[in-house]
Amino acid sequence: MAFPLLTLTAAIPAVGAVATAAVPAGRRTAAKWLALAFSLATLALAAVQLVRFDPDAKGPFQLTESHAWIADFGVRYELGVDGIAVVLIALAALLIPFIMLAGWHDADPQESGSSRWRPTQGFFALILMVEAMVVISFEATDVFLFYIFFEAMLIPMYFLIGGFGDGAAGNGDAGAAAQRSYAAVKFLLYNLVGGLIMLAAVIGLYAVTADQLGSGTFSLQEIVQARAAGKLDIATTTERALFLGFFFAFAVKAPLWPLHTWLPNAMGEATAPVAVLITAVVDKVGTFAMLRFCLQLFPEASKWATPVIVVLALISILYGALLAVGQRDIKRLVAYASISHFGFIVLGIFAMTSQGQSGATLYMVNHGISTAALMLVAGFLISRRGSRLIADYGGVQKVAPVLAGTFLVGGLATLSLPGLAPFVSEFLVLVGTFSRYPAAGIVATLGIVLAALYVLVLYQRTMTGPVKEEVRGMPDLRARELAVVAPLIALLLVLGVYPKPVTEILDPAVRHTMSQVHQADPKPDVNDVEAAK
């Protein structure tokens, strides 16, 4: 294309971050509106991408851009989107304005005498910077280019968690600051270790291509095409080692058990909007990269590792759900629920069926919307009471019925109630898993039962029963808060009954990925069909 649409979509929030950070200290409101305007401009460009994208076009990537960058090392500035990437870019661009509106006052200076200083300009600038890096990570088709932004997004996220954490910790400014610092450092260290292991694998991949192709390359398309043409033949042991290096980093980001432990700390100590940014936007880069890089670059190793990864996904589903049941902290409950949901996504990806992968990609979208709805409403609730503890609430639905109602819808979406968006994707994941791994499908269904338990118990303990004195007089959702929640609830309802516009974009990319891994859907057993007749 002559017009660099993909570059512009990533550049707009980056420019907005710089512009917002440069707003004078006394112009906090101007900084907020400026950041929101840039996020809406990014959303408009993401919408243009969706309109320009043709699901029926030939070739894996569209709207491509390619320029020489570091020619001596085979690094190129290559961008392109498939159906999965273009939908996830739209998801990120859609959620960022809601995240900003929900956190409109989260970085306002505290009252005089407070030891916490939270610069508004920095808060909104960091959110825009994360958006820019996430968008270009979805667009990058050069492995080295992807790696740079995959790692760079850790820096603004570190400051968002450590510098703008939740003020409802309940143990004083010093204790809350210590917990925020711990959560931010843990987030950074886990992801840095994963990134360093991936860097070794990236260098190894370059060395292999340089040895067999005459010149090293990081281009995903060149490597895939060279392998298809028989020009690049990676030894089995080498391919498996490289796959593990990539997968480890993506499993940390996802997060997948047992590399998940940073997430409950990060989401618990971050503000609710930043918690949504983590799990609904940033973490999707990990599962997306499994599809784009692990499966397409290392098809044999992906099939080799599938049994172990399926087991890890099942453990994530059950472990996350069980720990969510026992949580006393609202935000940590949502964090463990997300670990369970990411287990479903990884299970669908490595079920190696078209239904499973279609469900997994759709689940990325639906989980982002449902988690945003639940966590943001939880954030509004916590800001009113000043506590994250479930036991500090009771009878909220009698004093704030709209808040309780939206909280219930977000919770029902989290447990994948039929008629709401996550049900479709979870159903597809289970169907795809049953067709190849029946035992794994049976085990995974237990996660649905546990989800109903932790969501309904959470609602019962916080929203029903006698009105506690501390919540008496609690205000209901205000206009700004309704503007955040209402569109998310509407999307959950629309995609719950009519997901076709999204699946039509996702499915061709899923079929392409399946072909790269040389996998086909299992055929029905003839004896079973005859027995049914």
pLDDT confidence tier of residue 375, bands split at 50, 70 and 90: very high
Q: What percentage of the chain exceeds 70 in pLDDT? A: 94
CB 132 within 8 A of CB 282: no
Burial of 357 by CB count in 10 Å (0-12 exposed, 13-18 middle, 19+ buried)?
Answer: buried
Compute the average pLDDT of residues 520-531. 64
Residue 495 CB: number of other CB atoms within 10 A? 25
Q: What percentage of the chain exceeds 90 in pLDDT? A: 68
Q: Which two tokens stand for residue 218?
A: 């990081």
Q: What pLDDT, on a 0 to 100 scale, did the predictor assign at position 525?
A: 64
Match 């964090």 to its residue by tokens: 335
Q: Which two tokens stand for residue 175?
A: 């204790």
Residue 11 has pLDDT above 50, yes or no: yes
Q: How far apart are CA 154 and CA 170, in angstroms?
A: 27
| CA-based end-to-end distance of the chain | 54
Q: What pLDDT, on a 0 to 100 scale, did the predictor assign at position 441?
A: 92
Q: What pLDDT, on a 0 to 100 scale, did the predictor assign at position 26?
A: 78
pTM of the predicted structure, to 2 decimals: 0.90
Greater model confidence, 140 or 164: 140
- Residue 322, classed as helix, strand or coil, is helix
In order, the DSSP letters of 61-108 are: -EEEEEEEEEGGGTEEEEEEE-HHHHHHHHHHHHHHHHHHHHTTTTTS
Average pLDDT in the chain: 89
Match 């843990």 to its residue by tokens: 186
Considering only the C-alpha atoms of the chain, give the largest distance between any 2 of them, rounded to a whole number of Å. Answer: 78
pLDDT confidence tier of residue 16, bands split at 50, 70 and 90: very high
Give the tens place of pLDDT for each residue, 447-502: 999 999 999 999 999 999 888 888 888 898 999 999 999 999 999 999 999 999 99
Q: What pLDDT, on a 0 to 100 scale, did the predictor assign at position 288?
A: 94
Residue 399 has pLDDT above 80, yes or no: yes
- Residue 272, classed as helix, strand or coil, is helix
Compute the average pLDDT of residues 53-79. 88
pLDDT confidence tier of residue 526, bands split at 50, 70 and 90: low
- Smallest CA-to-CA distance from 450 within 273, 316, 295, 250 is with 316
Q: How far apart are CA 448 and CA 435, in angstroms?
A: 19
Q: What pLDDT, on a 0 to 100 scale, did the predictor assign at position 527?
A: 59
CA dihedral 480, 101, 181, 335 (to 10 degrees): 80
Determine the residue type at 480.
Answer: R
pLDDT confidence tier of residue 7, bands split at 50, 70 and 90: very high
Compute the average pLDDT of residues 29-54. 94
Q: What pLDDT, on a 0 to 100 scale, did the predictor assign at position 18?
A: 95
Residue 115 has pLDDT above 50, yes or no: no
Q: How far apart are CA 139 and CA 126, in angstroms?
A: 20
Residue 233 has pLDDT above 90, yes or no: no
